[in-house]
Amino acid sequence: MILLISTCKEKFHELEFVKPIEKILSENKISFFTKHHKEITKSDLNKTKKIILSGTSLKDNHFLKDLKNFEWIKETNKPLLGICAGMQIIGLLFNGKLRNKKEIGFYKEDFKKEFLGLKGEQEVYHLHHNYTILPKDFIKFTKSKIPQAIKHKEKKIYGVLFHPEVRNKELILNFVK
């Protein structure tokens, strides 16, 4: 069972950032349930095998005020994938610093080593105002200066600043399988 966590303040934004991930999981007959980050319980975390933190809209930085709701991430041993806002949350929890850089549109990213099925030059979709510098316990997988794909050195915690639900759906499938 996959737990998909919405980081969206507005329910309406879930149509763009959560529903596409739900569609990928549904079409591939992957069992999942979705909850808002403020509604997560220990029971939810216990009954899931893997966790995905969604992204959210450009002007929605509300999740930054709710970092206490994500403290459990530091203790979890479950595989976790953070997408955009989700990656920013992971970075901040592991002492990364938030920086501003607006990137919107399709970009080429060069994966210096394989990352959840992506390798070499890939076209990805960026939609963000912020990023975190690479936390010390993480490895960067892309050649770009801004960390676009990261993994914790010891845990199965992954983060991508781009939106794989738009252009790189296989990344999500590789994570959940």
Beta strands in the chain (DSSP E): 2-6, 32-36, 50-53, 80-83, 98-115, 118-132, 138-140, 149-152, 157-160
- Cα separation, 109 vs 137, whole angstroms: 22
Is 114 one of the annotated active-site residues of the chain? Answer: no
Is 128 one of the annotated active-site residues of the chain? Answer: no
Of the residues 13, 37, 128, 163, which is catalytic? 163
- What does DSSP say about strands 157-160 and 80-83: parallel, antiparallel, or unpaired? parallel
Is 163 one of the annotated active-site residues of the chain? Answer: yes
- What does DSSP say about strands 149-152 and 157-160: parallel, antiparallel, or unpaired? antiparallel
Of the residues 14, 22, 109, 165, which is catalytic? 165
Helix (H) or strand (E) holding 45: helix 42-46
Q: 104 and 75 in contact (C-beta within 8 Å)?
A: no
Residue 37's identity, in one-letter code, is H
Of the residues 84, 109, 126, 128, which is catalytic? 84
**Half-sphere exposure for 37 (CA within 13 Å, toward CB):** 28
Give SS3 for 171.
Answer: helix
Active site residues: 84, 163, 165
